[in-house]
Amino acid sequence: MDRNTIIGFILIFAVIMVWNQFFFQPEMEAAKIKQHQQDSLKALTESIPNTTIDSNSANQNSKSAIADSSSIDSSSISQTKEETRTLSNDLVAIELSSKGAAIKSVKLSKYNRIFKDQSGHDQKETLMMMNDKKNVFEYLIPVQGKVISTKDLIFQIRKSSDQEIEFETSLSPESKLVLSYSLKEGHYILDHQIKFEGKIPDSSIAVIWNNYLNHLEANSSYERNYSSVYFKERDQDPDYCSCTKDDKIVLQGKSVQWISHVNQFFNSSIISSADFVNAENETVMLPQNADNLKLIKTKFEIPASQFSGGQTNLQWYIGPNIYSNLKNAAPNLESIIPYGWSVFGTINRYVIRPLFLFLENFIGSKGILILLMTLIVKIVVFPLGYKMLQSQAKMTALKPEIDKIKAKYKDDMQKQQMETMKIYNEFGVNPLGGCFPLLLQMPIWIALYRFFPATIEFRQESFLWATDLTSYDVFATLPFSIPMFGATVSLFAFLWMLSTLVFTYYSSKSMDFSSNPAMLYMQYLMPVMFWVMFNKTAAGLTVYMFFSNLLNIAQTILGKNFLFDTEKIRAKLELNKSKPKKQGGFRDRFESLMKEQQRIQQEKLKKK
């Protein structure tokens, strides 16, 4: 590992550390968390003057209206106690309650949650969403100068089957509310209709949705950093609240197409056929030992204009973050998968993911698939690797000349640097030529850093000793915790570090560090610093890095022994030396700078 490669690694490390600091900030303190947990219903009613929420009167209206009605078959009308019905298909089972006519729980039949029992062993259970008893989903409907909340209303079940259900209640003698749900086979989308029979509200309907996210992954700290509320304004890119601290975004007067409460790999999203308005989205951090991962709070309004025909249609998507499913469900809903912003997200969506899907058609093991992806990526970036090896070979060919300069000016470091730059200039060698190819590969590194922990296809997929490629592998557990490192040891990250150190020793045996001894220690320190960071990184990435490192070692050994002949390179450099040099380039500017520094240093010595 030469000096330029070390510089490249230092820059990469700095960028990734800044990336982590920017996107994964510490959590809020518990006192601040409690301060933000306010009552949503009270906040909304205070914003609506001269109205009161009266669910008891609504219940009385509902009972009297049903008692006097002869148009509804009494055999299909439930009593005033709460009843539940389940809509199901091959993918999902959605339990709905007559209390509030709302979703009570969602079971995803194809997915499991892994948790540890009292003895510390891993156990599996079918994954559940939206099933916390503290959850709230309610409509606030203006009726005759009051606001009726649907939260505590007991609806009547007018029609029910395995894939369709219809609830109704009387809001007043002149108005009924009908809430219906239908589920298609083979889909995670739940169609939802809000219908008024009789008098239609003449002002907006408010919606309050408080959702306590469940712990769905074994690595809660990872999951917490990828969970938030996302939303999409019309004609705007999707946005989201902070994943790592309490955050609230108010969209007063804005039109919103969808709102999504997102776990690391699953989401519950509500989608409008028209638009929601005046939305407020908030994330509330909970203590790490809490029963829930986070609290997500959402408010919005459905304009009265959407009920001009007496009804409006919504959709729910409650299921896994599968890219194609989300893309088909709503505009840009696939953006809730945190593949990264700018060029990194583009690389993941349009290069890495298509390559992954293609290989998945032929390879069942996700670990073997990662190895093959690594090989393909290395082949694609081989021209950059070749340039880096070529630069290293040129520097090796010039080593005798550099050694002469170091011996001649052993007591004058500035003179050494000036004369060294002259040598590079004479022979047409760029001393940073080995650094730039490494930096050009950095976007792929950062893209993959986001790809593996965000891609559900790797969830709970094992490879060798790693049980889940979207989380770090746990090869050993320490009896204590090390700051920044943790209490577990990732073997893939350790193997990457070890192979890097071995390769560094191999490649630096012929290098002279006498003029800069610190560089000798830095080249061994850098992999250790990276290891501390990668110890808590998704195993999919560390598998990729380790195998990529092995390929780099093989590429370097083959390059030095078969691709580059030092004598031929030296002869070519001698030919470059005889060619006229372009004036005004970087080398000339650098040489001028060194001369100026030398002049200043000499003046300081004279003054002494």
pLDDT in tens, 234-286: 999 999 999 989 999 999 999 999 999 999 999 999 999 889 999 999 999 99
DSSP label of 25: P
pTM of the predicted model as reported, rounded to 2 decimal places: 0.77
CA distance readout (Å), 224 to 86, 149, 220, 368, 539: 30, 32, 6, 29, 18
> How many Cβ atoms from other residues are within 10 Å of residue 194's Cβ?
21
pLDDT band at 421 (very low <50, low <70, confident <90, very high): confident
What DSSP character marks residue 185?
Answer: T
- What confidence category does residue 32 fall into, taking pLDDT thresholds of 50, 70 and 90? very low
To the nearest whole percent, how much of the chain has pLDDT over 90? 45
φ and ψ at residue 348, rounded to 5 degrees? -65, -45
pLDDT in tens, 102-137: 999 999 999 999 887 777 777 889 999 999 999 999
Answer yes or no: is pLDDT of 360 > 70.
yes
Residues 302/204, Cβ–Cβ less than 8 Å = yes
3-state secondary structure of 427: helix
Instruction: Let me know: does 100 contact 137? Beta carbons within 8 Å.
Output: yes
List the beta strands (DSSP E) in 31-174.
Answer: 84-88, 92-97, 102-116, 122-129, 136-143, 146-149, 156-160, 164-172
Domain boundaries 37-330, CATH class: mainly beta
517-534 vs 3-23: helix crossing angle, rounded to 10:
30
| Res 24: pLDDT | 42
Residue 194: name the closest of 204, 185, 72 by CA.
Answer: 204
Give the pLDDT confidence score for residue 112 in this predicted structure.
94
Q: Are 285 and 170 in contact (CB under 8 A)?
A: no
Under 8 Å CB-to-CB from 571, ≥6 apart: which residues? none
Least Cα distance to 457 among 363, 537, 551, 568 occurs for: 363
Dihedral pair phi/psi, residue 569, rounded to 5°: -65, -40
